[in-house]
Structure 1
Amino acid sequence: MSWLPDDFVHPVLVPLPGGGHHLRPIREADTPLDYPAVMGSRERLWTIYGPAWGWPAATMTFEADRADLLRHEKEIAAHQSFNYALFDSAETALLGCVYIDPPERVGADGDISWWVVDDLVGSKIEQALDALVPQWIATDWPFEQPRFIGREISWPDFLALPEHPAA
């Protein structure tokens, strides 16, 4: 059984309230914007995602990021997992990401997490994203028990849960 209904169509453009920013599925072609965003916030991102995903490594190269984004693009097309990038309206800056994944641990039918670049921590844009994501997931995604990692459950508590049998 798939983690999403066979007829599910994922959103392709999600505006943030207040205008000026939106989410869309990330693509390999976004590497020139993604790499500086990730590496510019790498130390903080490592404290969030490092223990669970080993990402982003201090030694991550532009080419490794490109390969990672190509993998994400293929996973999105296959509905295996989703990475939405946060962009300004002109898509001249990648400002963060939202991950929507099949559950790795028991107790949920979807695992969701997100981040913004260091410069936006505590900003109105981050606050808009924080407000949008749970509402967007409830409205546009077919989950009955979404889990918001790093929000409703801490990463250490998430990692302490038993693995999901399908993971």
Structure 2
Amino acid sequence: MRYRRSACALLAAMMAASGCASPPAAPEAAPPPAPGAERLFVPADFTPPTLVETAEFKLVPLGPDLVKVDYDAYMSSIEHLQTTFSRSTSWPHKAISDADAMADMESEQARFQSRKSFAYAVLTPDGKRERGSVYVSPSPVPPYDAMVRLWVTKADYDAGFDAELYQWVTRWVQADWPFRNVAYPGRAIDWATWDAMVAAGKAGD
């Protein structure tokens, strides 16, 4: 509980120092599980979406069947994604092999099936090209109970799709997912503030 208060206070202080208004009070975090019980990321009776279709794109879970379109998407935008998404040269990079790509897809599929996190490909309506990805995962920073990240290819970013997808995802998560308080690092929360909150959490562990 001490960490929850310090992280929120840190966020408010940093925004005040930058001249921004303090954010509205965050919804109360979900109560902790009973002693000895495993904390579930999503409720046992929640069914994660496996197909969401719009006029411009559709979302389906990442998995081995999508390894080629996923690989083609991120390999087309290496420098763009290193700057805007991973903030690292560790992913993506030119040396990613077919085996690496398949292992990643198998891992994402396993995590989806075990309900630990949910990764989606954002495909064109015909499913022939991946425009980006959306990741719904547990947040390392209380009181957020989920963290959502997303990326789009350089071509789609230049076409303005990044802002369009982000706005759509925030509405989708609010309407169709069971979370009380969702963090969008690098978007609703700037990276410097998010990194500081994560570091504060690690220091308080």
TM-score, with structure 2 as normaliser: 0.73
- The structure with the larger Rg is 2
Shift of 1:46: 1.1
Give 2:128's aligned residue.
92
Instruction: Name the SS for the 1:44 alignment partner.
Output: helix
Shift of 1:106: 2.9
TM-score, with structure 1 as normaliser: 0.88
Aligned partner letter, 1:72: E
Please identify, of 38-47 and 119-128, the stretch whose mean Cα deviation from structure 2 is larger.
119-128
Instruction: Name the SS for the 1:142 alignment partner.
Output: coil
Shift of 1:113: 1.0
Please list, as runs of the form range in 1=range in 2, the aligned pairs for 1:14-163 lying within 5 A after superposition.
Answer: 14-16=52-54, 19-51=55-87, 54-123=90-159, 125-161=161-197, 162-163=200-201
Give unpaired runs (5+ residues) of structure 1: none
Give unpaired runs (5+ residues) of structure 2: 1-38
Contact 1:112/1:149 (<8 A) preserved: yes
Aligned residues: 164
Shift of 1:52: 7.2
User: Structure 1 residues 155 and 59, CA, compared in 2 at 3 Å: closer, same or farther?
Assistant: farther
Contact 1:87/1:95 (<8 A) preserved: yes
Please identify, of 124-133 and 30-39, the stretch whose mean Cα deviation from structure 2 is larger.
124-133
